[in-house]
Amino acid sequence: MALGTPAPTDPDLRTEAAVFWYGCNMTRHGELIRATTRILEAVGIAAAPAGGPGHCCGSPKEANARIAGGMAQRTVAAFNASGRDTVVTWCPSCHMNMQDSMAPVTPTNFATVHVTEALWARRERLAPLLTRRVEARVLLHAHHGFNGRVAVNDMVPGLLRLIPGVTIVEHAYRAPGHMCSAIAAVPGALADAQRATLAAMAEAGADTLCTIFHSCHRESVALERHGLRVRNWIHLLAESLGIPAEDEYKTWRNAEDPRAAIGEARVAAAGEVAFTRLVEPELRRPPPV
């Protein structure tokens, strides 16, 4: 049974096997990969995480169709060979690319289902597990894009309303694009969106900005410097479920000294050169607003 099909409420429902395709650029948030996998497992989906450059949709190389197409083809081939009949996606780019340009080029033997759809279809199994209160007045960080493909702007608040203590506040603002990495590439657009988000938070009386996607979370965590909380929807679900999901990236991004916050031992494990050249500049970059 493909995972998009609403699951019966039978508590003895068999566990289904899937791939959890978290995308190529999610590794800043290992706790989200880990927690999402455990949440899927809790509702009966044994999802094997797969991502990183070895499971890329090709987007980072889209100026060259030969390279991007080769990356996409390898990823589809790996999923076809996995023996799992469903790929649960996280990243909206990956999801759209699978449907628009990967599956049409390389035939697939799996269904593609977004993680919000998989959890929404199993919300009756999820709800009783959300036992811990999470006090938060939440404004969803919503974009226009992708919602026409998968109704994330409805399903994520719907899932969050299952958490005792969470109040969802409404506001009409929607950021352009499908996630923040897209608007970050257009000069001025991310800063405009973040100013509008801060205004929406104030107007709605929210204390917590809830991101849906990884790049939005990455770009938004520095907004905590404006006196609000920024959490991903998986962080909120995990807290209510009692699943540990410490947001280390947020801590590092907002630390005066990211290197000290991470600690020398972990910096050494990551590689001194890689840390200095690839990680530290991002963590020290001034935020857009």
Partner 1 sequence: MTLADHIRAESARLAALCTACGACVRACPMTPYAAGVTAAGPEAVAFGMRDVLREGPGTPEALAWIAACTRSGRCTEACPERLDAAFMLRLAQWRAKGALGEPPRFPVREDTQFSPKVKAFARLTLAEQEQREWL
Burial of residue 165, with CB atoms counted within 10 A of its CB: 0-12 exposed, 13-18 middle, 19 or more buried? middle
Query: Encoding tokens for residue 182?
Result: 């897209």
Site residues for partner 1, 17-76, by CB under 8 A, read 22, 24-25, 27-31, 33-34, 48-55, 58, 60-66, 68-69, 72
Contact 153, 140 (CB under 8 A): yes
**If we measure between CA atoms, which residue out of 133, 122, 50, 41 comes closest to residue 87?**
50
Separation CA 39–CA 46 (nearest Å): 10
Say if CB 147 and CB 153 are below 8 A apart. Answer: yes
Q: How far apart are CA 196 and CA 175, in angstroms?
A: 8
Which range of residues in 39-47, 109-117, 160-168, 265-273 is near partner 1 by CB under 8 A?
Answer: 265-273
> Applying CB under 8 A, which of residues 176, 255, 261, 287 lies at the interface with partner 1?
176
Which stretch in 109-117, 157-165, 228-236, 271-279 sits in contact with partner 1 by CB under 8 A? 271-279
**Among candidate residues 47, 41, 38, the one with its CA nearest the CA of residue 18:** 47
Q: How long a stretch of residues is the chain?
A: 289
Per CB under 8 A, does 178 bind partner 1? Answer: yes
x/- track of binding to partner 1 for residues 203-242 (CB under 8 A):
----------------------------------------
For helices 233-241 and 30-42, the axis angle rounded to 10 degrees is 50
Q: Token match 């990969």: residue?
A: 33
How far, in whole angstroms, is CA 148 from its chain's centroid? 17
Question: Does 81 engage in binding with partner 1 (CB under 8 A)?
Answer: no
| Residue 151 touching partner 1 (CB under 8 A) | no
Residue 154 lies near partner 1 (rule: CB under 8 A): no
Q: How far apart are CA 249 and CA 262, in angstroms?
A: 9
> Among 7-15, 129-137, 147-155, 219-227, which window interacts with partner 1 (CB under 8 A)?
147-155
Q: Which stretch binds partner 1 (CB under 8 A): 9-17, 96-104, 126-134, 160-168?
A: 96-104
Residue 277 near partner 1 by CB under 8 A: yes
In the complex, the residues that contact partner 1 under the rule CB under 8 A are: 22, 24-25, 27-31, 33-34, 48-55, 58, 60-66, 68-69, 72, 93, 96, 100-101, 104-105, 143-149, 176-178, 182-183, 185-189, 248-249, 262, 266, 269-271, 274-275, 277-279, 282
